[in-house]
């Protein structure tokens, strides 16, 4: 019984600290919103007969071949799907209350909430099933994109 009380006390102490940190910093909720958005975007791929979606504003090049961190801008140029391409799409995702924890379009280049609602619209490149050619110069993000699609 004493052990159970100690565990309960420790859990309550942990939850209290977690709640306080959430009030000070929304980093956990921003991470959760990003993860939910990724999951919901992936769930939309089959309806577009696609294997991947690359959002406008994504930074594909990495700092180095051994790093998973994005290269800083500049010199990196954020991705932008070609205007007029049939593969350029705008997708809409329902995010509920988590939408407010996603960056606005001006901050990220990825997408924006529509009128402060729970819906997020993101424009980017749909990569269809089948054979797709990915070309570009050194440190343009080709390998990063291929590894992401393969994952």
Strand boundaries in 1-151, DSSP class E: 50-55, 88-94, 111-113, 119-128
**Who wins on pLDDT, 23 or 144?**
144
Cα–Cα distance measured from residue 140 to residue 124, given in angstroms and rounded to the nearest whole number: 17
**Who wins on pLDDT, 32 or 22?**
32
With a cut of 60, say whether residue 63 has pLDDT above it. Answer: yes
Q: What pLDDT sits at residue 50?
A: 94
Both tokens of 94, joined, read: 């329902």
**DSSP class of residue 13?**
H
Q: Which helix (H) or strand (E) holds 52?
A: strand 50-55
With a cut of 60, say whether residue 58 has pLDDT above it. Answer: yes
pTM over 0.85: no
Please give the average per-residue pLDDT across 2-23, as a whole number. Answer: 72
With a cut of 80, say whether residue 26 has pLDDT above it. Answer: no
Domain count along the chain: 1
Both tokens of 97, joined, read: 């209350």
Which of these, 123, 132, 145, lies nearest to 60 by C-alpha position?
145
Least confident piece of the model among 38-42, 98-102, 115-119:
115-119
Cα–Cα distance measured from residue 128 to residue 4, given in angstroms and rounded to the nearest whole number: 54
- Mapping DSSP to helix (H, G, I), strand (E, B) and coil, where does residue 11 land? helix
Which of these, 100, 136, 150, 103, lies nearest to 122 by C-alpha position?
103
Q: What pLDDT sits at residue 106?
A: 47
Q: What pLDDT sits at residue 49?
A: 94
With a cut of 80, say whether residue 59 has pLDDT above it. Answer: yes
Q: Which range is most confident: 14-18, 41-45, 66-70, 118-122?
A: 41-45
Cα–Cα distance measured from residue 43 to residue 76, given in angstroms and rounded to the nearest whole number: 29
Q: Tell me which residue range forms the domain holding 19.
A: 2-150
């Amino acid at each position: 019984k004493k052990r159970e009380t100690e565990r309960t006390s420790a859990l309550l102490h942990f939850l209290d600290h977690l709640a306080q940190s959430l009030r000070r910093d929304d980093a956990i909720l921003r991470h959760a919103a990003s993860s939910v958005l990724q999951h919901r975007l992936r769930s939309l791929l089959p309806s577009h007969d696609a294997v991947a979606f690359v959002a406008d504003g994504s930074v594909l090049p990495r700092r180095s071949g051994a790093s998973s961190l994005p290269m800083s801008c500049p010199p990196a140029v954020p991705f932008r799907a070609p205007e007029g391409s049939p593969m350029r799409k705008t997708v809409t995702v329902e995010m509920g209350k988590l939408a407010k924890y996603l960056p606005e379009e001006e901050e990220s280049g990825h997408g924006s909430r529509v009128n402060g609602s729970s819906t997020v619209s993101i424009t980017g490149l749909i990569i269809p099933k089948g054979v797709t050619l990915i070309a570009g110069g050194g440190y343009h993000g080709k390998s990063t994109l291929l590894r992401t699609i393969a994952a």
